[in-house]
Amino acid sequence: MPRARSRYAPDRGLTGRMVTTMFLIGLLYVVFVGVLLAALRGSWPIILIITGGMFIAQFWFSDRIAAYGMGAREVTPEQAPELHGTIDRICALADMPKPKVAIAESDVPNAFATGRSEKTALVCATTGLLRRLEPEELEGVLAHEMSHVAHRDVAVMTIASFLGVLAGIITRIALWGGFARSRPGNDPAGILLLLIPLISAVVYAISFLLTRLLSRYRELSADRAAALLTGRPSALASALTKVSGQMARIPTEDLRKAEPYNAFYFMPAFSAKESLGRLFSSHPTLEQRLDQLSRISTDLSR
């Protein structure tokens, strides 16, 4: 029998956005592959093998690759008793199975969750976060990350981000991998081949915007769910404020290493105040997050 739903507050808005994003991304994927097949008719078996293989690899292995890239190292209860104890309390509150627990050796104060499902989930905190936060603040942050697991939006974001990566790789293969051959100027296939870079750019831009819109909402949803589950929105607000303030003190080199994984993190890391990443951030602003938590705190106190 399927396991009962967790005690995290359901979010129909998040569910609707995930379904819509996956539908639009899937439609975009079909159109993109269709254009490739039309333009590279003689190479369709290779295209299908590459796109299919990459999709399977993205779904099954991307979470492990991301965790490895962010330096996550699984730890036992004996190695990290406080971290495991906090996760245990959240699992009891949420009525969820316990995920794998990991620590990343990084001074950047952050946390993240990966995994296709509750069975494969991993929740990780950096040493910088563990050193800076009080127990109730850490609980708020980890409850936020566990919300991503409960709502399954980590898996959706992983799949949704696939098409943008694929568009760039297929374009390079088409232009420099030997698929392109000299064709007569009036050959429709030759014209389609010339349009591939433009189509890929459009596909990447659309998929990027769709995933960013979903990502910003899912972060607000995770804040809300964590605050309601723990009953302490002020602790999560305190953690957000503290982590945001500490980011400015982190060496630029460390922040640059963390930036590629911002979509996974509890708080995005930017190497400069004027970073272009802030314009297309995967997270809502600190003010938006604190304002929502303030409203939840007011509602809970009534």
Q: Cα separations (Å) of 134 from 65, 97, 243?
A: 30, 25, 12
DSSP string, 43-91: GHHHHHHHHHHHHHHHHHHHHHHHHHHTTEEE--TTT-HHHHHHHHHHH
Dig out the tokens for 80 from the structure.
């990290």
DSSP string, 168-201: HHHHHHHHHSS------TT-HHHHHHHHHHHHHH
Contact 139, 86 (CB under 8 A): yes
Q: In degrees rounded to 5, what are phi and psi of residue 77? A: -60, -30
> Active-site positions?
145
Is 253 annotated in a binding site? The answer is: no
Which helix (DSSP H) or strand (DSSP E) does residue 103 occupy? strand 100-104
Distance CA 179, CA 256 (A): 35
Contact 229, 143 (CB under 8 A): yes
Is 148 annotated in a binding site? The answer is: yes
Using alpha carbons only, give the angle 261, 124, 158 rounded to the nearest 5 degrees.
Answer: 45
Q: For 119-174, what is the HEC assignment?
A: CCCEEEEEHHHHHHCCHHHHHHHHHHHHHHHHHCHHHHHHHHCHHHHHHHHHHHHH
Contact 125, 141 (CB under 8 A): yes
Distance CA 75, CA 100 (A): 8
Is 144 annotated in a binding site? The answer is: yes
Contact 283, 213 (CB under 8 A): no
Looking up tokens 């808005």, which residue turns up? 13
Annotated binding site for Zn(2+): 144, 148, 219
Annotated binding site: 144, 148, 219
